[in-house]
Amino acid sequence: MQTKAAIPLEIPDVSDLCVLVVEDDEIMRLSLEDRLRLEQIPARAVGDLAEAHKQLETGEIDLVITDIRLPDGSGADLFEDIYRRYPGTPVILMTAFGEVSDAVALVKAGAVDYLTKPFDLDAFVGTIRRNLARCADTRLNAEHLGIHDESFRPGSGVIGKSAAMRRIERLIARLSKVDSTVLVTGESGVGKEVVATLIHYNSRRASGPLIKVNCAALPANLIESELFGHEKGAFTGAAYRRIGRFEQAQSGTIFLDEIAETPLEVQVKLLRVLQERVLDRVGGEKSISLDVRVIAATQVDLDEAVKQGAFRSDLYWSLNVINVEIQPLRERREDILYLARLFVKQHASAMDRPVIGLSGEVEAKLLTMSFPGNVREIKNILERAVALCDGPRIMAHDLVSLEQLPGDASGPEETTTLKDSIAVAERQAIQQALHRNDWVIGKAAADLDISRKNLWEKMKRYAIEKEGVR
Ligand SMILES: Nc1ncnc2c1ncn2[C@@H]1O[C@H](COP(=O)(O)OP(=O)(O)OP(=O)(O)O)[C@@H](O)[C@H]1O
Ligand SMILES: [Mg+2]
């Protein structure tokens, strides 16, 4: 699926990132501001620290470029404040000739770059653009998405640089103040679980539990007791009382993943829980009241599932109080390089490999790919690339997309490593088993002699999807 469609090459869009220029010399400040306007880079320009702080407090600043000497303090103080209070916001220094050593010291301390005055405006713009594209790696994806503090500045682009993902960040921030049920939708691998997790950790329930349930991976006959729990002796084999996932989520959030896979009889019970906020353990006599926020996710078109009678419409309406729809990666291409660079860093550090980035050729190639497996796919591709790469930068031949794996003629000539061959064989076996069993996961899993959960995970990993589900 590499370069089939003639999608025009795009340069990462930095037009909705905002630069703060701090420069006390008015003429200089105006000329920098003018030039940024000409380049269509949103910017605000101020002349002292006090004004700079006011701007930073708006939460809308993505990058700061500051003079070292300012009327009410120094650029070094500003850098330190930003480093503490707005971690991850890149700072570039503008220094006079005599202050270069100060600037170098600050770069060692974490400032991203410096420019020595006098500089020409092209160099200025070049530095800003380069750093904006990186600012990109926003707080290294806010520490691998563990974000749940002030470092999550809604709209700053942690989960993606595209306008679409920034909107979702703002929505997450708004959702943190209410308890509404949320339905997260989008294709496989777009980041539904990431978003659900962020909603929880940015809500007032953050200190409560986040219980994740994959409704597709649970054996059909156990879903009910898994979700709602059961009393001792409720059915043959129920030797002990079991506390269900809903009860485990008390005072926190339950994440019902792949909600469309819930059997109809369980849907009725879910509806009661959602509407009345009480649950009955299987075989239990009294109802238990619940203080749980529900977030559900699905890649299935629930409207369609409702029409086909596979999903209850009343449950759909109860879940779909607020819908967060995540676009496929191919429709938010501004996120591709951001995520790619980020994943290179994450994988390189996890595998302890000295890979520092992507070659220009690889970046260009990534921008033409369509990523049917979305973010998961680009993440997997780069994991492989980091593992295969033997230089500091990932080259085109390190890039093997999942679609190429089954060894078709358009793929790489040979898959030499054992890992590749196994992946090819495994993907094929899974596809065949699914095909033989009309895509009934339980049956295919039995056929392959692996668990439903295991099969589900492998399907995700190899981006295997039933044709025509969307
Ligand atoms: N914005 C993002 N930033 C960083 N990593 C991301 C982002 N979105 C997704 N990922 C990563 O991509 C992978 C897939 O994400 P996730 O599990 O949230 O997708 P999903 O929509 O729930 O997929 P599925 O429908 O297949 O369950 C995960 O490894 C996740 O960490
Ligand atoms: Mg998921």
312 and 176 in a common domain = yes
237 and 157 in a common domain = yes
Q: How many domains does the chain have?
A: 3
452 and 403 in a common domain = yes
Which ligand is nearest the CA of 346, by number?
1
CATH number of the domain at 32, please: 3.40.50.2300
**Beta carbon of 190 within 6 Å of any ligand 1 atom:** yes
344 and 322 in a common domain = no
Residue ending a domain, among 327, 343, 364, is 327
Residue 5 lies in a domain: no
130 and 227 in a common domain = no
Helices 49-57, 75-85: crossing angle, 10 deg rounding: 20
pLDDT of residue 92: 94
Phi (first) and psi of residue 464, to 5 degrees = -90, 125
Pocket test for ligand 1, best of 144, 161, 188, 194 (most atoms within 8 A of CB): 194
How far is Cα 242 from Cα 153, in angstroms, rounded to an integer?
Answer: 40
**Beta carbon of 157 within 6 Å of any ligand 1 atom:** no
Residue 3 lies in a domain: no
Residue ending a domain, among 327, 351, 367, is 327
**Beta carbon of 185 within 6 Å of any ligand 1 atom:** no
Q: Which residues pair with 393 in a beta bridge?
A: 357
Q: Is 458 left (phi over 0), alpha (psi -120 to 50) or beta?
A: alpha
pLDDT of residue 47: 96
Residue 172 lies in a domain: yes
Residue 10 lies in a domain: no
Residue 467 lies in a domain: no
51 and 149 in a common domain = no
Both tokens of 291, joined, read 């203080």
Residue 427 lies in a domain: yes
How far is Cα 90 from Cα 112, in angstroms, rounded to an integer?
Answer: 6
Q: Which atom of ligand 1 is nearest to the CA of 189?
A: 23
117 and 67 in a common domain = yes
378 and 290 in a common domain = no
CATH number of the domain at 383, please: 1.10.8.60
CATH number of the domain at 213, please: 3.40.50.300
pLDDT of residue 466: 67
412 and 390 in a common domain = yes
**Beta carbon of 162 within 6 Å of any ligand 1 atom:** no
Helix (H, G, I), strand (E, B) or coil at 370: coil
pLDDT tens across the length of the chain (470 residues): 333 333 222 233 455 678 999 999 999 999 999 999 999 899 999 999 999 999 998 877 889 999 999 999 999 999 988 877 775 678 999 998 778 888 888 887 778 889 999 899 999 999 998 887 665 455 455 555 655 454 455 556 778 878 888 889 888 888 888 999 999 999 999 999 999 988 998 888 988 999 999 988 887 778 888 899 888 877 777 778 788 899 999 999 999 999 998 988 889 989 999 999 998 888 878 888 999 999 999 999 999 999 999 999 999 999 999 999 999 999 998 889 889 988 998 888 888 888 888 888 888 888 888 899 999 999 999 999 998 888 888 988 888 755 554 433 344 444 456 777 777 788 888 888 988 888 888 888 888 988 888 888 888 777 777 654 43
Q: Please name the residue whose Cα sits nearest to atom 24 of ligand 1.
A: 188
221 and 194 in a common domain = yes
CB 165 within 8 A of CB 333: no
Residue 255 lies in a domain: yes
> CA-based angle 336:202:314, to the nearest 5?
90
Residue ending a domain, among 279, 308, 327, is 327
Phi (first) and psi of residue 253, to 5 degrees = -130, 140
Q: Please name the residue whose Cα sits nearest to atom 16 of ligand 1.
A: 191
Phi (first) and psi of residue 265, to 5 degrees = -70, -30
Residue 470 lies in a domain: no
Q: Which helix (H) or strand (E) holds 198?
A: helix 192-201
Residue 217: which residues within 8 A CB-CB, separation 6 or more?
A: 258, 451, 452, 453, 456
Range of the domain at 52: 19-135
Distance between start and end Cα atoms, the chain: 18
Q: Which helix (H) or strand (E) holds 334?
A: helix 334-351
> Ligand 1 centroid to 375 CA: how many Å?
6
> CA-based angle 424:426:428, to the nearest 5?
70
pTM listed for this prediction: 0.64
348 and 267 in a common domain = no
296 and 159 in a common domain = yes
Q: Which helix (H) or strand (E) holds 419?
A: helix 418-436
Q: Please name the residue whose Cα sits nearest to atom 9 of ligand 1.
A: 191
